[in-house]
Structure 1
Amino acid sequence: MAKVHEGGVRLRPAEVAIRVFVLSLGAIFVLMPVFWTILTSLKTGQQTLEIPPVWFFVPQWGNYAEVLRLVPFQNYALNTAVIVTGVVVGTLLSCSFSAYGFARLRAPGRNVIFGVLMATMMLPSTVTLVPTYIVFNKIGWLNTFLPLIVPAFFGSAFFIFMFRQFYLSLPRELEEAARIDGASYFRIWWSIFLPLSLPVIATVTVFTFVGTYNDFFGPLIYLTDESKWTISVALSTFGGSPRIGPQLHMLTAATMIAAAPSIIVFLLAQRYYVNGISVAGINK
């Protein structure tokens, strides 16, 4: 039987079998919560309360339609889409533009400013929560989407770092040729650097999309009107309320519906996502 090669090391069939077995056990262990959520979403309310758990039952596919009937899920999805789109666009534009300046433009104290920017990553968000809330309250932005969207247009230290690392890997000849043709710095960034940044753009998009889509604390603090809730906040409705009551099967069904967009985005951008992380981590 042919032996498997890995990095020049010849592996015996028994070693391959052991690795596959261990990895399979690990995958099953990691996916168990997902399996439990899917099974619970297809049970009746009574079956979710039975001990020991019921493993063989008639799937209740109507639970998913019932979720959409109990709450205005489409309205929450629209609110979430508006916020997520604004945050993704703002993050990509601000972080890529700032990173271009740190990577290519020469200015006194550039490295010091970049160091201070990186130091902000060690500042917990809870420290700035109260003063930020006071500022948004003073300018009348509470119960609007603005406190959740506008800060994204001022950049994020982590994503600026990722863009900067990628820009450092691009050859300077491209920029020099554009400068000879009379292109401005803004034109170079927009027409040359951004089109070449697809791997990092996909990575930042996935990170930003998932983080914003799953954000619970921000919408909970700033959005007091139920009609402006996002999906993550609306899911708390199924945990127990006078209108619906605690229904675990409804909660898990709503969770599966809410998780679908994040899974789809990750699968679509998976190739660029992995490549973007590897590229952003190898340049100094």
Structure 2
Amino acid sequence: MSRRLLIALLAAGALLMIFPFVWTVVTSITAGGDVLTTPRLIPQRAGLDGYRKLFEALPFWRIAANSLVLAVVSTALLLITSSTAAYAFARLEFPGKNIVFVGYLATLMIPMQVLVVPLFIEVRALDLVDTYAALIVPTIASAFGVFLLRQSVAVLPRELDEAAFVDGAGHIRIFLRIILPLIRPALATYGLFAFMSSWNAFLWPLVAIRSREFMTLPLGLSTLSGQYSTQWNAIMAGSVVSIVPMLVLYAFAQRHIVQSVANAGLK
């Protein structure tokens, strides 16, 4: 394959991936009546009417703050629980370790839709419905995170641990001072995935939340869809605003993510 053909294919793929984002921005600045009648990449009547409708229809900053707090706290707890469990499965020896790990991974095959009802019953029994705890507690552990980080810990030479043990270090010090710095790319990658999952969560907040006080961003945007009419420019304006934190986070984590991908090909 020639270099020019390869560049053309990559450019075409990049355009296909970026087009939905461009269309979202264009729709957000298109006048409400023109969104469905004359959709085009360069709107005839451009303006910020969609953003005005967004802030008038919703307590947007409160909703965005709810999503941000939920995503930050959930991501931090997931990184703590997943990294500690990954170290235990990769470095510690205890009876039934492999069986427990396989059983833990088997939970990945259970879809969230199946867990919603029993999870709601449990949250209601604990009197946590319509609280921040109802959104955070079910997200503090992840089998995928444990699997991803365990693989990163498992490939590290055990000689590092043995040398630290000779110097008098214990498991906690080895985990904090040796393991965590070495798996930083994997932590950044999983942290980005966890933040995206929490930021975009819709199904569980829809079930667990009743009041607008605890409403998250996806729930708030869904209220803009009416039975007979939908404010598409306002919805797209909210989508544009909701994309910004993800772009900022990816910009900070990009170096570690690239390094994680590069390390995946090394033995």
Give the alignment's TM-score, normalised by structure 2: 0.91
| Distance in 2 separating the partners of 1:225 and 1:282 | 50
- Given candidates 99, 116, 119, the residue that maps to 2:106 is 119
Deviation at 1:67, TM superposition (A): 2.3
Matched AA of 1:22: L
Given that 1:45 and 1:248 are in contact with CA atoms closer than 8 Å, whether structure 2 keeps it comes out as: yes
Uncovered stretches (5+) of structure 1, i.e. residues with no partner:
1-10
Whether the 8 Å contact between 1:165 and 1:281 is mirrored in structure 2 is no
Q: CA deviation at 1:152?
A: 3.1
Residue 168 of structure 1 is matched in structure 2 by 154
2:23 is aligned with 1:40: no
Query: Does residue 191 in structure 1 map to residue 177 in structure 2?
Result: yes
Contact 2:32–2:50 (Cα < 8 Å) also in 1: no
Aligned to 2:246: 262
The one-character-per-residue Cα deviations of 1:187-246 (angstroms, maximum 9, x if unpaired) are 22122211222101101110000011001111111010111101111111222279xx62
* 1:27 is aligned to 2:18: no
CA contact (8 A) 1:84 1:212 kept: yes
Q: Using the TM superposition, give the Cα deviation of residue 93 of structure 1 relative to its aligned residue in structure 2, in angstroms.
A: 0.5
Q: Does 1:248 align with 2:232?
A: yes
CA contact (8 A) 2:30 2:233 kept: yes
Deviations 1:35-81 (A, max 9, x none): 22111111111111324647342431353344234321110111112
In the alignment, which residue of structure 1 is the partner of 2:198? 212
User: Structure 1 residue 168: deviation in Å?
Assistant: 1.5
Letter in 2 for 1:236: S
Indicate the structure whose relative CO is greater, using CA pairs within 8 Å and at least 6 residues apart.
Answer: 2
CA distance in 1: counterparts of 2:128 and 2:230, whole angstroms: 33
How far, CA to CA, are the matches of 2:34 and 2:64 in structure 1?
A: 29
- Displacement of 1:90 in angstroms is 1.0
Once the two structures are superposed, what CA deviation does each residue of 1:72-104 show, in whole Å capped at 9, x if it has no partner? 111011111221112111100000000001111
Q: Indicate the residue corresponding to 1:130 in structure 2.
A: 117
The structure number with the bigger radius of gyration is 1
Residue type matched to 1:110 in 2? K
User: Residue 26 of structure 2 contacts residue 41 of structure 2 at CA under 8 Å; is this kept in 1?
Assistant: no
Across the two proteins, how many residue pairs are aligned to each other?
267
Indicate the SS of the match to 2:224: helix
Q: Which moved more, 1:54-63 or 1:267-276?
A: 54-63
Contact 2:83 2:149 (C-alpha < 8 Å) held by counterparts = yes
Shift of 1:32: 2.2
- 2:145 & 2:192 partners in 1: Cα distance? 11
Give me the identity figure in percent.
33
Structure 2 counterpart of 1:100? 87
Q: Distance in 2 between matches of 1:53 and 1:166?
A: 47
CA distance in 2, matches of 1:81, 1:29: 29
Q: 273-282 vs 228-237, which deviates more?
A: 273-282
2-side partners of 1:122 and 1:106: how far apart? Answer: 26
The TM-score, its normalising length taken from structure 1, stands at: 0.86
Match of 1:81 in 2: 68
Q: Which residue of 2 aligns with 1:271?
A: 255
RMSD of aligned residue pairs (Cα, Å): 2.2
State the shift of 1:251 in Å: 1.1
Instruction: Note closer, same or farther for the CA distance 1:54–1:190 as it changes in structure 2 (3 Å cut).
Output: closer
Partner of 1:221: 207
Structure 2 residues not aligned, in runs of 5+ = none
SS in 2 for 1:239: coil
- CA contact under 8 A between 1:90 and 1:150: conserved in structure 2? no
Q: Indicate whether 1:67 and 2:54 are aligned.
A: yes
Tell me which amino acid in the other structure corresponds to 2:65. Answer: L
Residues of 2 paired with 1:247 and 1:52: CA distance?
14
